[in-house]
Amino acid sequence: MELSCLQLGYYLASWGMLRGSSYLFRETNARHYQATIEVIEAYNPEMRELNEQPFLEPLAQKLILAAYADLRKSILPKGGTSLTLVTKIMMGVWGAVPSFDTYFIKGIRSLAEGTEKTAFNKIESRSLSLLEDFYEQNKMEIDKLALHYKTLDFATGQLTDRPLTRAKIIDMYGFTLGYTA
């Protein structure tokens, strides 16, 4: 548990989630992540299988939204801004949804029209449905990239047979689009 808490803390720090004014930086320590690790373990088997299901699938949406809510409560028990923080955790642990960070949101909004631009202000059925639409429109390219890029084995540093998730490919595209805009 201690090692998992330290890894989660390091991962979040590497993405700037422990900046000087943040709740995580000011009011927590590695032990704080224990409840979040417990939530991750509870959802782990089902969330790992999500890469094979469309975001539009009602059961997939229900699972994503429930995991998001439980992670939010565990990582920010006093409330606070959670969209980027929680989706970073979901991306890093499961690769289930893109990280709804500043650059991803900016990038994905540049592709949206009308009221779709506000869909990524939070994670909800509407934003997940729009992600599914984006995936369907770009399925061949996303699947090709996902199969081409593999994860690394921590112990050996070698490539595994496990491909990146389609959500990770969408995340990288949206981030790059927003960063370069």
pLDDT in tens, 31-62: 999 999 999 999 998 998 887 767 778 889 99
pLDDT in tens, 104-161: 999 999 998 888 888 999 999 999 999 999 999 999 999 999 999 999 998 999 999 9
Tell me, what amino acid is at 30?
Answer: A
58-104-71 Cα angle (round to 5): 50
Specify the 3-state DSSP secondary structure of 159.
strand
| Residue range of the domain that includes 133 | 2-180
Overall number of domains in the chain:
1
Dist. CA 138–CA 48, nearest whole Å = 22
With 0.85 as the threshold, say if the pTM is over it.
Answer: yes
